């Protein structure tokens, strides 16, 4: 399960072209965000070894995200617009924690903790620091200043080999103000 956190930062809108009717516009959106991301897995164990009966893992990490999108702004009325964006987001993992817990045949439990971004060949429970995702954003602009949107990013790099070649998947609700 995805555990929502937050993202806070700045975003620059760079006009690329304007429609002759001036009702729509093409633009580039570039940003820098400090983001919190997390997950939790709590289910019966489905691994190759029949020794474990339950599996629990949770983690949270914080990163710097740099989205670079191309967008289109549909000016519906003087004080209302709808926008659509698509592009890539690069992420650099900064810090975080993870915890994993197995129960052996209902008898005893083993657990471990670690740094969220501590992926090595010896420790495959952490995640790699660098991520690239493809995604998009849809939203509205009110009074040419206040923005509200829904974002989705889907990782294209493998962040960890266990469990099952993990990739990032992030969803955001955004509220912003244009200066």
Take residue 87 and report the two structure tokens written for it: 């592009």
10-residue stretch averages of pLDDT, the chain, 179 residues long: 79 78 77 88 63 71 94 91 96 85 67 65 66 95 92 87 72 87
Task: List pLDDT tens digits, range 71-99.
Answer: 999 989 989 999 999 999 999 988 888 77
Three-class DSSP category at 131: strand
158 in Cβ contact with 133 (< 8 Å): no
14 in Cβ contact with 73 (< 8 Å): no
Give the pLDDT of residue 23: 55
Three-class DSSP category at 2: strand
88 CB-near residues (< 8 Å, 6+ apart): 67, 68, 69, 132, 133, 134, 135
Can you give the pTM of this predicted structure? 0.78
Give the pLDDT of residue 48: 57
């Amino acid at each position: 399960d995805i555990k929502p956190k937050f993202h806070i930062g700045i975003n620059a809108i760079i006009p690329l072209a304007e429609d002759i009717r001036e009702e729509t516009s093409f633009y580039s959106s570039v940003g820098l965000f400090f983001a919190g991301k997390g997950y939790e897995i709590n289910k019966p164990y489905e691994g190759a070894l029949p020794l474990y009966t339950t599996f629990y893992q949770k983690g949270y990490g914080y990163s710097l995200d740099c989205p670079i999108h191309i967008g289109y702004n549909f000016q519906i009325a003087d004080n209302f617009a709808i926008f659509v964006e698509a592009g890539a987001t690069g992420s650099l993992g900064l810090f975080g924690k993870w915890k994993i817990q197995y129960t052996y045949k209902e008898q005893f439990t083993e657990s471990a903790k670690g740094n969220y971004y501590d992926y090595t060949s010896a420790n495959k429970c952490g995640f790699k620091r660098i991520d690239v995702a493809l995604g998009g954003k849809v939203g509205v602009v009110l009074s040419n200043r206040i923005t509200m949107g829904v974002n989705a990013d889907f990782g294209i790099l493998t962040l960890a080999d266990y469990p099952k070649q993990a990739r990032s998947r992030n969803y955001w609700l955004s509220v912003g103000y244009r200066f």
